[in-house]
Structure 1
Amino acid sequence: MSDLRAELTEILDEAEWEWLIPHVQRDAVILVASELNLLDVGEAIASDHIPSVQQWIDEQLITKPSPVQVGEWNGDRTKRFHTLIVQPYVLVQEIAAA
């Protein structure tokens, strides 16, 4: 495992939607599709691996949250996400309701 991946693994966390709102307001949240590995995405962004990141953007696997999604999450402030901070971004991945 690379040093970068080890660092990212240590800061992988969970957060409630309410904790993420300030980051959404400053346009720093990136939503990562559930089929992608959050650590893989974080590592690609942190290391400027443009081909992977561009492919995910093109396939809409990493996006900014839509106004509709933000509205839904505002209705459920306890909604939880896997989170990974890769400055200046906060990568989030929805945790499916049990």
Structure 2
Amino acid sequence: MKVSQEELAKQIDVTDWFTLRAHLERGGLILVDRMLNLTEVGFAVASDDVQLIERWIASGMVGKPTAAQIETWDLERTRAFACLITSPYVLIQEAPTENE
């Protein structure tokens, strides 16, 4: 079943790092740079647009969180993230902080 970008946009939610941590442990967490539109990335994943996803990965705009990021977020368990489930992945994007 093909999903539209509009449907994906409606599925974006906001949650905290504590809630997302379990998805990291199973290897399903993908970090999306804030310069990208989370809906567009979700649509590319759902549509299996390998070339586009590979370009984002190569540019460092999409990928697994780094150890340093995880360490920081573990100290800020209530840090907010936009998230979108595109099974088997959970795409996340850091929400801006008050200082940004």
Same fold (TM over 0.5): yes
Q: TM-score range by the shorter chain?
A: over 0.9
Q: Secondary structure at the match of 2:36?
A: coil
Q: Does 1:49 align with 2:49?
A: yes
For residues 38-97 of structure 1, the C-alpha deviation after alignment (integer angstroms, 9 at most, x for no partner) is: 000000010011111010011010010111111100001110000000000000000111
Q: Take 2:87 and 2:7, find their aligned partners in 1: how far apart are those partners?
A: 13
Paired residue total: 97
Deviation of 1:17 after TM superposition, in Å, equals: 0.4
Deviation of 1:6 after TM superposition, in Å, equals: 2.2
Deviation of 1:3 after TM superposition, in Å, equals: 4.8
**TM norm structure 1:** 0.94
Which residues in structure 2 correspond to 1:1-98 (within 5 Å)?
Answer: 3-98=3-98
Contact conserved, 2:32 with 2:63, CA < 8 A, in 1?
yes
Unaligned runs of 5+ in 1: none
Q: Secondary structure at the match of 1:20?
A: helix
Deviation of 1:4 after TM superposition, in Å, equals: 1.8
Contact conserved, 2:3 with 2:46, CA < 8 A, in 1?
no
**Could you tell me which amino acid in structure 2 is paired with residue 90 of structure 1?**
V
**Could you tell me which amino acid in structure 2 is paired with residue 58 of structure 1?**
A
Unaligned runs of 5+ in 2: none
**Could you tell me which amino acid in structure 1 is paired with residue 69 of structure 2?**
Q
Task: State the Cα RMSD in Å.
Answer: 1.2
Structure 1 consecutive aligned stretches of length 4 or more whose deviation exceeds 6 Å: none
